[in-house]
Structure 1
């Protein structure tokens, strides 16, 4: 078994696709409209779904916004330089909700950004032995 995807409900699909592809650098892997159900599914990620977990963005055509709730935590992305990533995200209009630095009560370097719907995404500095 392996994780296939995580689904997020989004209020404006194009705005979310712009964030995940242009700000975070993911690829739009596939997209399909379901007119009878009045929704669209778009899958984004850093690699092919056959070998990597991806994010499913679900846009229900009649819903503009969602409450995230208290059970949701975040999506985590590992990268070689979270400081440069935050600079690039900020330059593209992305929201940095926690600047890069060591986590509280630990040494792992992290940062947090938010997507257009307010979902939190943790950026984790990978150590040299954890290269992508």
Structure 2
């Protein structure tokens, strides 16, 4: 069995597309508005699967009031993305003024990782395997 996609709920699809495209550099596959199901969504290409961002709309197809989950341990659920160079990810986050919510953490000789939140408090983990 393979992973097809992972989904995050977002409050502002345009803002989220900007974050995932222009801050994280993910490739937007497509976006769609579905008036029959009262939602708007976008898919981003990931190696080994895709990421779906889903915005819920009311019966008039207007955005529902924002829902922002707490950013707190154990930081689940989250989407973990493999990083070739965690140091470069840290530099990018500083350049873009994106706070790291935890980390970087390390198991010496094995793995380094950190957590951050997108604009809707969805948790992302960047992981660099060292061996």
Q: Distance in 1 between matches of 2:37 and 2:75?
A: 27
- TM-score, structure 2 as length reference: 0.80
* Deviation readout 1:37-66 (Å, 9 max, x if unpaired): 32111001235xxxx211110011332322
Question: Which residue of 1 is the match for residue 91 of structure 2?
Answer: 87
User: Which of the numbers 98, 103, 108 marks the counterpart of 1:99?
Assistant: 103
Could you tell me how far 1:9 is from its partner in structure 2? Answer: 0.9
Aligned ranges for residues 1-132 of structure 1 at < 5 Å? Answer: 1-47=1-47, 52-61=48-57, 62-68=63-69, 72-103=76-107, 107-127=110-130
For the residue of structure 1 that corresponds to 2:115, the secondary structure is: strand
Q: More strand by proportion, 1 or 2?
A: 2
Root mean square deviation, CA, Å: 2.4
Could you tell me how far 1:31 is from its partner in structure 2? Answer: 0.9
For the residue of structure 2 that corresponds to 1:83, the secondary structure is: helix
Could you tell me how far 1:125 is from its partner in structure 2? Answer: 0.8
Structure 2 contact 115–124 (Cα < 8 Å) conserved: yes
- Structure 1 residue runs of 5 or longer lacking an equivalent are none
Moved more, 91-100 or 81-90: 91-100
- TM-score, structure 1 as length reference: 0.79
